[in-house]
Amino acid sequence: MIKDLLSILPQIIVLLTAMASLIFEMLRKASGSLITLIIGLAGASGLAISRLGTVGTAFSKTFRIDDLSLWAVIILCGTGILSALLMRQELKGTNREGTLYSLVAFSTLGSLLLAGSGDLMFLVLGVLINSLGGFAMAAYPKTDKATEGAIKYFVYGSVTGAVMLFGLTYWVGITGTTFIKDLTGITSQAFVLLIGFGGLITGLGYAASLFPFHFWTPDTFEGAPVSVAAFLSVTPKIGAFFALAQVMKDLPPLLDWNLILGILAVLSMTFGNIVALWQKNMLRLMAYSTVAQAGYFLLGIVAINQSGLALSGLIIFSLAYAAMNIGAFAVIQRTGNNIIYFEGLARKRPFMAVAMLVFLLSLVGIPPLAGFAGKFLLFGSAMDAGYTWLAVAAILNSVISLAVYLRIIFPMFYRKEPIYSFPTSGIITSVFTVCFIVTVLVGILLRFLV
Amino acid sequence: MNTSIPLLSIILFLPLAGAFLVTLFRSSGPKIANLVAVIFSFLSLITAIFLGIEGIGKGFSHIEEVNWIPSLGAAYRLGVDGISYIAVLLTTVLFMSSITFSTKTIGRKSEYMALFLLLETACLGVFMSLDLLLFYVFFEITLVGMYFIIAGWGHGNAKKAALMFFIYTLVGSLALLLALLGLYLNTDPHSFDMRVIIANPPTGWIGMAIFWGLLIAFAIKTPLFPFHSWLPLAHTKAPAAGSAILAGILLKLGAYGFIRFMLQMTPEAFRQYAWVVIIIAVISVIYGALVAMAQTDIKRMVAYTSINHMGYLAFGVAIAALQYDDSGVSALDGASLQIFSHGIVTGLLFLLCGSIQDRATTREMPALKGLLKAYPLLSGFFVLAASASLGLPGLAHFPAEFQIFLGGYAIYPWAVGVMLLGLVITSALYLRAIQGSFMGPMDSSVLKKMQDLNTSELLAFIPLIILIIMVGIFPDTILSFIHETTKAFMP
């Protein structure tokens, strides 16, 4: 028991952090709440770094300690800290500000549980904890748009959660247990497996904004505070994909699951990129961009059993994705959410424009930036596993995504006179500087990560 | 032969260091930016010349290797052989000229110079990399750099041209990425080391698939018919120095890819499908020449002759893939020399077009008249460069194209015959341009200022002029590097 508790110590720290920052909120000390969050998440992250390389399980194999769950702690705790800082800048002094920080920790915890699931119940629990925090954060400003976005998020979440639970009961039915590992032994009843798989994809796809379960994403992002949208674009997604990877490791190959995932990947990438081409609202544009990026994650999951590159690809791409997305949202939070605000940004704020350029090029996958490192490994793993068509589709999509992001890049640098001016903000600058450094260095320092 | 000084890294990173300095001192005004950029590009050139004096050898030499991602077998690996060395030399010369040329004319100086220097590092990196991943990284950075140069300093509706350039060539480079991944995954143990792959090239259908990926990537970049449609637009809109770099160096990334990748890493498939390359090369030669003939814009005309010249080059490489003997070596020598010759000649022509554009209100040849009277020096240089471009003996293109034809004649005499027609057409179009726009009475209504070449233009042009004549008369100065290497290609 003690050994189990010790092995999930990072997750426990996140839980304690959530509770402690809630206590500070009760005392009406929002800054205390924020500081607790930062210290707690940084501690959890540091602990996870020191444990990298450990492999094991806890609580009679229901929770897995491996590269996925440890990296999830590192990436998501970092994401939590950076988004909380953005929230501080955006929502400082509002009523009940401290609850946000507590919710960040809770929601992060949900994703961490997902990332280490060895048991079907953890999948359900993880999605629930994760999205419950998300609903509340999205509705925080109490404006009409925010409420609408949160309600959409909530309704979609309830329905997909129910479908997921329904599907997973079939798996419990045929294995007799809730262990994911026990699925490996199943040798017949492909159809029953398929029902469970459908439920799983629905539930996790919702959290990950994967086409066709993404419908909440643009509205929720548009209504929610920018900082909350930043958080929602990263944390649930990475948790869900890591969970999917955990399941795919053990799913018996009675059906061609990879084909289903591959088709979903292509649809998600293509749909996200093409719809993003028409968006004028930056938040909606980024929402569709996250739908597209979700497709790239799937490449690593398709190849997870056949290629040694897949796991590192998934992890590096998650790290890159977190950095470039939070960074881009930080810049959007400063400039405002209409694409015209970016005109002439380079004249007014050269560093901010260069940072945004780096985030966007990294999202396209231009070397030597972090996004390239991740995509490169993912493409490589897909080809290694024999899914060249998938890599080709992903690569064609990178071209479309270039057109999407150039719509922002060009006016940033080549409109003569900036129309809008932006006050500086120390917090935002420091957040996107951190993201900028990570985005630039991940590719170069890859040897220490893979 | 190898010294302990990492000469290649020095050549590679000098421009980048210059770019940082320019950015750092961007508030100190354009003079400083000019000075730093010229000095650093010059230092890079001097180091490159010093490298040649130290000796190159027939295989890869001056190798530098630092681990990057050991678990993937990727490393920071640099090295040069004769062919990459002349490409490095060309890059450093042409960048120095282009940067010197730009010191007078261009606005937003510090950003422009920083971009140019960054682009120089990227181009050098492509030629020096011995690692597939590193190669790809530099290859992509050249795209980004060029995009910003065209978009930022181009004429007219440059945004569209820049976008088309970026997207079109990104398609090519992503095909390249697939091919590189294919090469990597089919090496046992997996490695990104070019030397390992060249020693054990993939065969069978895998080699074939990789070959086609490479062909698409490099045919877009070179560009060969029918993948050329991005080129004229990009050239028309790009600033003069940008065009010079685009034609002089960026196209050579494709040409270099034909030799380094297709010829060396997928020789079996190249041998089998050399006829495809030969057909599109011959079409490119004729098509490029004919379309160039139809142009009235002087810059577009030069742009289309690039397609024609790159056709000769691709033909030479394809002959080398077919023929493992003296005629193959001769064709490959010619093709490699063509990299250098076309770089300096077309680079100079584009810079001269820029000079004309600065002085005249139009680039339309029917409107321009009597330039020789107005600007004797400028026009003299143009006539010389144009003569070189049409293949006049004693100037840079002649020894290259002569060797290509010599090598090709042994197996495909009909192709050589058709291509000679291309030579005739280019001669006609250049003569017509010279006669129409440079000779005859002057029409000063289209001329803005009457001043002949200024100092920075002279400093930019003279090294290129000297090289054009030197390569024409003593081709061996450059060919000796190439020949050492190409001899070793053939078993």
Chain B contact set for A383 (CB, 8 A):
178, 181-182, 185
Q: Identify from B140, B168, B191, B212 which residue to disrupt to test chain A contact, counting A C-beta atoms within 10 A and taking the largest count.
A: B140
Please give the structure tokens belonging to residue A434.
């951190």
Contact A447 B70 (CB under 8 A): yes
Residues B234 and B165 sit within 8 Å (Cβ to Cβ): yes
B450 pLDDT above the threshold of 50: yes
CB atoms within 10 A of CB B127: 27
Q: What φ, ψ does residue A93 adopt, rounded to 5°?
A: 85, -5
Q: Identify from B185, B186, B205, B216 which residue to disrupt to test chain A contact, counting A C-beta atoms within 10 A and taking the largest count.
A: B185
Residues A65 and A7 sit within 8 Å (Cβ to Cβ): yes
- Does A441 reside within a domain? yes
Contact A376 B141 (CB under 8 A): no
- Among B71, B159, B167, beta carbon nearest to A402: B167
What pLDDT sits at residue A221? 94
Q: Identify from A376, A379, A398, A441 which residue to disrupt to test chain B contact, counting B C-beta atoms within 10 A and taking the largest count.
A: A376
B266-292 pLDDT, tens digit per residue, is 988 999 999 999 999 999 999 999 999
A383 CB near a chain B CB, below 8 Å? yes
What pLDDT sits at residue A450? 65
Contact A376 B133 (CB under 8 A): yes
What pLDDT sits at residue A418? 67
Q: Closest approach of chain B CAs to the CA of A435, in angstroms?
A: 21
Please give the structure tokens belonging to residue A264.
């979903």
Q: Closest approach of chain B CAs to the CA of A358, in angstroms?
A: 11
Residues B86 and B340 sit within 8 Å (Cβ to Cβ): yes
Please give the structure tokens belonging to residue B87.
């490409």
Task: State the pLDDT confidence band at B205, using cuts at 50, 70 and 90.
Answer: confident
- Among A380, A384, A399, beta carbon nearest to B174: A399
A391 CB near a chain B CB, below 8 Å? yes
Contact A402 B166 (CB under 8 A): yes
A399 pLDDT above the threshold of 60: yes
Quote the crossing angle between the two packed helices B326-359 and B376-389, to the nearest 10°: 150
Average pLDDT of the residues in B419-427: 90
In chain A, the number of structural domains is: 1
What pLDDT sits at residue B105? 63
Bridge partners for B415 per DSSP: none
- Does B364 reside within a domain? yes
Contact B182 A383 (CB under 8 A): yes
Q: In this prediction, what percent of chain B has a pLDDT beyond 70?
A: 99
- Does B451 reside within a domain? yes
What pLDDT sits at residue B1? 43
Question: For tokens 């591959």, what's the residue?
Answer: A262
What pLDDT sits at residue A268? 96
Residues B348 and B464 sit within 8 Å (Cβ to Cβ): yes
User: Structural domain of residue A299, as residue ranges?
Assistant: 256-449
By C-alpha distance, which of B479, B139, B426 is closest to B307? B426
By C-alpha distance, which of A345, A223, A365, A222 is closest to A296? A365
What pLDDT sits at residue A303? 92
Contact B181 A414 (CB under 8 A): no
Average pLDDT of chain A to the nearest whole number:
91
Average pLDDT of the residues in B41-63: 87
In chain B, the number of structural domains is: 1
B61 pLDDT above the threshold of 90: no
Please give the structure tokens belonging to residue B324.
């493992």
Residue A60: burial class (beta carbons within 10 Å; 0-12, 13-18, 19+): exposed
Distance from C-alpha of A220 to C-alpha of A287, rounded to nearest angstrom: 9
- Residue A56 CB partners (closer than 8 Å, separation 6+): A7, A64, A65, A66
- Among B140, B152, B170, beta carbon nearest to A399: B170
A53-71 pLDDT, tens digit per residue, is 888 888 888 899 999 999 9
A18 pLDDT above the threshold of 90: yes
Chain B contact set for A446 (CB, 8 A):
68-69, 72
Q: Closest approach of chain A CAs to the CA of B131, in angstroms?
A: 14
- Does B206 reside within a domain? yes
Contact B178 A383 (CB under 8 A): yes
Residues B114 and B19 sit within 8 Å (Cβ to Cβ): yes
Q: How many CB pairs under 8 A join A and B?
A: 73
User: Structural domain of residue B445, as residue ranges?
Assistant: 7-488
Contact B151 A384 (CB under 8 A): no
Q: How far is residue A361 from each of residues A354, A441, B113, B226, measured CA to CA in Å?
A: 10, 14, 21, 29
What is the DSSP secondary-structure string of A408-445? HHHHHHH-SS--------HHHHHHHHHHHHHHHHHHHT
Query: At CB < 8 Å, which residues of chain B contact A?
Result: 67-72, 133, 136-137, 140-141, 143-144, 148, 151-152, 159, 162-163, 166-167, 170-171, 174-175, 177-178, 181-182, 184-185
- Among A366, A376, A447, beta carbon nearest to B68: A447
Average pLDDT of the residues in A146-154: 94
Instruction: Return the DSSP state at B247.
Output: I
Contact A395 B174 (CB under 8 A): yes
- Does A292 reside within a domain? yes
- Does A40 reside within a domain? no
- Does A417 reside within a domain? yes
Q: Closest approach of chain B CAs to the CA of A230, in angstroms?
A: 27
- Among A366, A402, A447, beta carbon nearest to B69: A447
B342-395 pLDDT, tens digit per residue, is 999 999 999 999 988 888 888 888 888 888 888 888 899 999 999 999 988 889
Distance from C-alpha of B457 to C-alpha of B449, rounded to nearest angstrom: 15
Contact B185 A403 (CB under 8 A): no
Task: State the pLDDT confidence band at A190, using cuts at 50, 70 and 90.
Answer: confident
Distance from C-alpha of A171 to C-alpha of A179, rounded to nearest angstrom: 10
- Does A245 reside within a domain? no
Higher local confidence (pLDDT), B2 or B176: B176
Distance from C-alpha of B40 to C-alpha of A233, rounded to nearest angstrom: 44
- Among A367, A380, A450, beta carbon nearest to B71: A450
Task: State the pLDDT confidence band at B3, using cuts at 50, 70 and 90.
Answer: low
- Does A2 reside within a domain? no
Q: What φ, ψ does residue A83 adopt, rounded to 5°?
A: -70, -35
A414 pLDDT above the threshold of 80: no
Average pLDDT of chain B to the nearest whole number:
88
- Does B1 reside within a domain? no
Q: Give the nearest chain B residue to A411 (CA atoms).
A: B159
- Does B413 reside within a domain? yes
Q: Closest approach of chain B CAs to the CA of A351, in angstroms?
A: 11
A323-372 pLDDT, tens digit per residue, is 999 999 999 998 888 888 888 888 888 888 899 999 999 999 888 899 99
- Among A367, A395, A396, beta carbon nearest to B137: A367
Question: For tokens 């100037």, what's the residue?
Answer: B395
Average pLDDT of the residues in B130-150: 89
Provide the Cα torsion A387, A389, A390, A395; round to 10°.
130
Give the 3-state secondary structure of residue A187: coil
Chain B contact set for A406 (CB, 8 A):
163, 166
Contact A406 B163 (CB under 8 A): yes
Distance from C-alpha of B277 to C-alpha of B274, rounded to nearest angstrom: 5
Q: Closest approach of chain A CAs to the CA of B305, in angstroms?
A: 29
A82-107 pLDDT, tens digit per residue, is 999 999 999 888 888 899 999 999 99
B-contacting residues in A 271-290 (Cβ below 8 Å): none
Provide the Cα torsion A86, A89, A91, A97; round to 10°.
80
CA A419 to chain CA mean position, Å: 33
Chain A contact set for B68 (CB, 8 A):
446-447
Higher local confidence (pLDDT), A443 or A284: A284
B97-137 pLDDT, tens digit per residue, is 999 998 876 677 888 888 999 999 999 999 999 999 899 98
What is the DSSP secondary-structure string of A205-222? HHHTT-TTS-THHHHHHH
- Among B166, B170, B181, beta carbon nearest to A380: B181
Average pLDDT of the residues in A217-236: 94
Contact A395 B185 (CB under 8 A): no
Q: Closest approach of chain A CAs to the CA of B205, in angstroms?
A: 14
- Among B143, B159, B177, beta carbon nearest to A395: B177
- Does A118 reside within a domain? no
By C-alpha distance, which of B483, B403, B78, B87 is closest to B254? B87
DSSP H/E element including A136: helix A120-138
pTM assigned to the model:
0.88
Q: Closest approach of chain A CAs to the CA of B74, in angstroms?
A: 9
- Parallel, antiparallel, or unpaired: how do β-strands B61-69 and A63-65 relate? unpaired
Encoded amino acid at A414, one letter? Y
CA A284 to chain CA mean position, Å: 16
Distance from C-alpha of B3 to C-alpha of B239, rounded to nearest angstrom: 40
Q: Closest approach of chain B CAs to the CA of A303, in angstroms?
A: 14
A184 pLDDT above the threshold of 90: no
Q: Comparing A418-422, A435-439, B62-66, B304-308, which segment has the lowest mean pLDDT?
A: A418-422
ipTM here? 0.81
What pLDDT sits at residue A216? 93
- Does A386 reside within a domain? yes
